[in-house]
Structure 1
Amino acid sequence: MTTEAAAPSLSIGEVAARTGLSVHALRFYERESLLVGPVRRTSGGRRRYTASDVEWLQICVRLRESGMPLADLKRFTELVRQGPGNEAERLRLLDTHRQRVDAQIQALEECRSVIAWKVDVYAEHLARDEAGGLWDPTA
């Protein structure tokens, strides 16, 4: 069994490649305390990340990509960092975010429905060679 300390560490460039975050973004995440643990450094001051850091960052990336506000991500990170005992608050935070994402998905599905309807209208008119004048503002 290997411990995390004995496990191979990753450079900031390797973590950027695995997470899709830029090196600049990784430094930002560190400055904003968005990592659960401290980033270790070599004797030369270079950042070294663990597999756990990468897993956490991948979660953070998905939460941010789905629109979680930075303040909520900071709070969630804080709660995780504190350890056991605050799971109900973590759940509330995540559930609130899930509800926002569900509302966004619903709104996008409604938009897609309108777009699909218009695509069908245009395709049908073009197929019948009757497209002239469709939404013609000069008519």
Structure 2
Amino acid sequence: MATEDLMRRALSALDEIDGPLSVEVIHRLTELPEVDEPLTVAQVAELLDISPHSLRYYERIGLVSVPRDAAGQRAYSAEAVRRLIFVTRMRLSGMPIRDLQHYVSLVDLGDDTVPERLDMLLEHRDTTRRQIRELTLSLAATEYKIATYGGHTS
């Protein structure tokens, strides 16, 4: 599944980080190879490890705008790829599609919407932190059960 592969790659990148998650570290996690010329659906799908179907879906629901080349094929710019990186990270963190659509529409409206975007991201951060705590508790319960059955925990 593409989401699992994307999560595996993101976690692997996090494992290579020594120290706290600073803004610079986060920028490194979202870096992409130089995009000197527009990319095709297949190239972006491979780069982001998601299906071409997902890319077309994100375009269809307005999360990304992708112009067509002279032959009518999608031509993804570096800006579109950066937006897709953000979208895929937010989807991995559980942000609902309708919230992403609202966020993207706010971005497209310009800088006057920064306060509302910030509020959305703060709320999403709080939700994500709660989910991490809940998962930590679930992991502890699982580790306990493994130990009661004589298994080894890590």
TM-score tier after normalising by the smaller chain length: 0.7 to 0.9
Percent identity at matched positions?
35
Tell me which structure has the larger Cα radius of gyration: 1
Unmatched runs of 5 consecutive residues or more in structure 1 = 1-6, 127-139
2:50 corresponds to 1:12 = no
**Offset at 1:65?**
1.3
2:142 counterpart residue number:
115
- How far does residue 118 in structure 1 lie from its aligned partner after superposition? 1.5
SS of match in other structure, 2:150: helix
Find the counterpart in structure 1 of residue 113 from structure 2.
Answer: 86
Matched, 1:41 2:68: yes
Gaps of 5+ in 2: 1-35
Match of 1:103 among 130, 135, 145: 130
Aligned partner of 2:57 among 16, 28, 33: 28
Matched with 2:77 is 50
Bigger share in helix: 2
- 1:102-122 superposed Cα distances (whole Å, 9 cap, x missing partner): 111111111111111122222
CA–CA separation in structure 1 for the residues paired with 2:50 and 2:105: 21
Instruction: Name segments (4+ residues, structure 1) moved above 4 Å.
Output: none
Q: Secondary structure at the match of 2:112?
A: coil
Aligned AA for 2:146? V
Which residue is 1:61 aligned to?
88
Q: Aligned pair count?
A: 118
TM-score by length of 1: 0.79
CA distance in 2, matches of 1:110, 1:8: 47
